[in-house]
Amino acid sequence: MVSRLVTLSEYTRAPYGMNPTMSAPTCRAAAFAHSLTYVTNKVSVDLSGPPKTMLSTLYLKALDADFERPVLGDRFAKEAIDKLNFDWRELEITPKWAPLFTVRTAQYDIWVREFIAAHKECTVVHLGCGLDCRVFRIDPGSDVRWYDVDFPQVIALREQIYPTRPNYQLIATPATEPNWLDQIPADRPTLLIAEGISMYLTEEEGIALLQRFIDRFGTGELQIDFFNWLAIKSQKTQSLVRTSGSTLHWVVNSPRDILDQVPGVRLMTAVTFFDASTFSRVSGVFRVAKSVLRLVPPVRKSLQYHRYAFGSAS
Ligand SMILES: C[S@@+](CC[C@H](N)C(=O)[O-])C[C@H]1O[C@@H](n2cnc3c(N)ncnc32)[C@H](O)[C@@H]1O
């Protein structure tokens, strides 16, 4: 973590703005005292585009942790937002939308735990990790190698706010860079957990990435979520997309779209937001929406959580 001290220009600008009647030396003394209030141990955040979207998911997880009946209950997210110097109002977030993300994260936590339980010695590759605290929530044992992967500017933030741990590495790279997988030993069943990232890739980039993954690791699982055509088409209405200035691309309407394009994968399960086992933790307006939207399949199937096996892993 770094301390942010006032800059010289902040120091010299402040006194005359504060009280133009003071003499220059008095002003400078006052400014120095004033500057102390600007000293902060928080880490500055300056992101845009897809890297910025992870601030919304982190913030919603932190809000969820304070709910009377949280879906995820992630205390690490709560601690993390306190370490960042960021005006969270910029994200235009309403707490009531938290389940849209916490249901997904909680569902994938269950599936990741199942993979680890089934494969005593394994590797987990958490792609598009953002500032998500999955490695801390799951706290895998020493037989699990864990890699958190994201753009360099996101990994730089992770390094400043989270501790490291044994058998844990960060990889700072765009997912589309073809060689980053070479840094990961291919000697164990390997899980790709890619939550909230597919939609920022083009279909061509996404399919190539999944194929590279199964070709390198031979056996394991792909746990990845997708947006259907409606979720991609309505992207301008999504505050996370709007406030980050991102563009969404890859449409996946059903597991068939993956099975037809990635030879060697077998569908284990696919659920929508409403069918996820963790949806049962949600109350209020989403429960009503579930019964109403039963009659509107494109909306009901907007958010899809898929899980595939490849190689001998089952
Ligand atoms: C909506 S956030 C989700 C973050 C995290 N998985 C979560 O659920 O909180 C999307 C994340 O995907 C990352 N991402 C998007 N496109 C990427 C790419 N081409 N390469 C690496 N990371 C990418 C972003 O930087 C961001 O951290």
Whether 34 and 157 map to the same domain: the answer is no
Please indicate, yes or no, if residue 67 is contained in any of the structural domains: no
User: Can you read off the two tokens belonging to residue 159?
Assistant: 């390094």
Name the pTM for this structure. 0.88
Within this chain, do residues 146 and 222 fall inside the same structural domain, yes or no? yes
Q: What are phi and psi of 306, to 5 degrees?
A: -110, 155
**Most confident of the ranges 32-41, 88-97, 129-138:** 129-138
CA of 197 to the centre of ligand 1 (A): 5
Q: Mark whether 157 and 305 lie in a shared domain.
A: yes
Q: 237 lies in a domain?
A: yes
Residues 205, 282 share a domain: yes
Block residue for tokens 């009503």: 288
The verdict on 23 and 101 lying in the same domain is: no
Nearest CA residue ID for atom 14, ligand 1: 128
Ligand 1 proximity of 148 Cβ (cutoff 6 Å): no
* Positive or negative: CA dihedral 67, 68, 70, 76: positive
Task: Tell me the per-residue pLDDT of 179-206, one tens digit each, with 9 for 90 and over.
Answer: 999 999 999 999 999 999 999 999 999 9
74: in domain: no
Lowest mean pLDDT segment, chosen from 45-59, 129-143, 214-228, 291-305 = 291-305
- Strands annotated E in the chain: 43-44, 84-85, 122-127, 144-150, 168-172, 190-194, 220-227, 265-272, 303-310
Q: Decide whether any atom of ligand 1 lies within 6 Å of the 150 Cβ.
A: yes
Q: Are residues 23 and 154 in the same domain?
A: no
Q: Are residues 168 and 278 in the same domain?
A: yes
Q: Determine, yes or no, domain membership for 229.
A: yes
CA–centroid distance, residue 196 to ligand 1 (Å): 6
Residue with tokens 């120095």: 32
Q: Does residue 217 fall inside a structural domain?
A: yes
Chain segment 252-307, per-residue pLDDT in tens: 999 999 999 999 999 999 999 999 999 999 988 888 889 888 889 999 999 999 99
Confidence at residue 39, expressed as pLDDT on a 0 to 100 scale: 53
d(CA 69, CA 54) in angstroms, rounded, equals 23
Residue 27 has pLDDT above 80, yes or no: no
CATH number for position 238: 3.40.50.150
9 and 153 fall within a common domain: no
- Residue 245 Cα to ligand 1 middle (Å): 14
17 is in which domain, residue-wise? Answer: 1-41
The per-residue b/e assignment along 254-276, b for 16 or more CB within 10 angstroms, e otherwise, is ebebbeebbeebeebebbbbbeb
pLDDT, averaged across the chain: 88
